Structure 1
């Protein structure tokens, strides 16, 4: 089975929304309650159109089906979808700031095939080409093993505040580049 990595397009947004919902509901069930997962959709988890417009968001396809997505950013926002309050779209300075690794999701049934790692390597390479030497991300509890496997270390744990008084643990992780 062959996988194609490509830059996401605005036309992919409806498919990405469905993939993200499926991924969050099914794959994060061991780490977050159903109420947390549902409250996080559309704010903490979801499509960040800015990443697509910046051409820093990738998808992996097989047989024409998008089965994974993720990206990086040269903007200050660490995580979140279009509707997340407090977004910071100011540009980062590669000389002093870390590139942001963002919004990784895999379709249920397609995990453990190296897709997240493939996207992560592409993100790190693109960010390095843009002049960044460090990377940071906001990991879900579910995502920590992937990022640890690629050399990321926890920096701090925060709580993303959501509607209904709910919150979601997010672990800020970092890595020095090459």
Structure 2
């Protein structure tokens, strides 16, 4: 079942994010990069919950995945990564954003991420957006490519402790 995330989900979401990153990123990033990214980048963006654009996938009482879309400028990162107001995008000229996707490793490769992405794409299209962009972590790139996203730029994101996180900026036309 996919539903909108609620602020009451916050503790379970944070556990899911930590578990997902620590398990599914080990073939792509060093342990230092992973811990640094959890500290400085990966996390919940509470603006997405406030905007009603963040979703959770739930099986029984377990959150097995999460992800959202945004009509705001930020491309990636949780609350700890932002220190300014996040301005709204113009659907007539800007691309919506896919944001903060994480899957419980015990449920990986079962279509959960794909289902949430489809919900996000449909919602962004209904809100008037004609394209969508994202900052993909390296483990997510194959899924996004399979869903029609094209890589447009490799980005090295410096973190305050000197670690660098490689991401891939990707884009998809929705129409």
TM-score (normalizing by structure 2): 0.97
* Map of 2:129 onto structure 1: 132
Post-superposition offset of 1:42: 3.7
Match of 1:155 among 152, 157, 167: 152
Post-superposition offset of 1:161: 1.3
Unmatched runs of 5 consecutive residues or more in structure 2: none
Residues 119, 90 of structure 1: alpha-carbon distance in 2 compared, 3 angstrom cutoff:
same
| Greater alpha carbon shift after TM alignment, 85-94 vs 22-31 | 85-94
Unmatched runs of 5 consecutive residues or more in structure 1: none
Post-superposition offset of 1:160: 1.3
Q: Secondary structure at the match of 1:154?
A: strand
Post-superposition offset of 1:85: 4.1
- Tell me if 1:6 matches 2:3: yes
* Map of 1:67 onto structure 2: 64
Post-superposition offset of 1:61: 0.3
- Tell me if 1:41 matches 2:57: no
CA contact (8 A) 1:77 1:87 kept: no
Post-superposition offset of 1:163: 2.5
TM-score (normalizing by structure 1): 0.96
- Tell me if 1:15 matches 2:19: no
Match of 2:100 among 97, 100, 103: 103
| Greater alpha carbon shift after TM alignment, 35-44 vs 82-91 | 82-91
Match of 2:24 among 27, 33, 36: 27
Could you say which structure has the higher helix fraction?
Answer: 2
Q: Distance in 1 between matches of 2:162 and 2:64?
A: 32
Q: Distance in 2 between matches of 1:18 and 1:108?
A: 12
Q: Secondary structure at the match of 1:138?
A: strand
Q: Distance in 2 between matches of 1:81 and 1:22?
A: 16
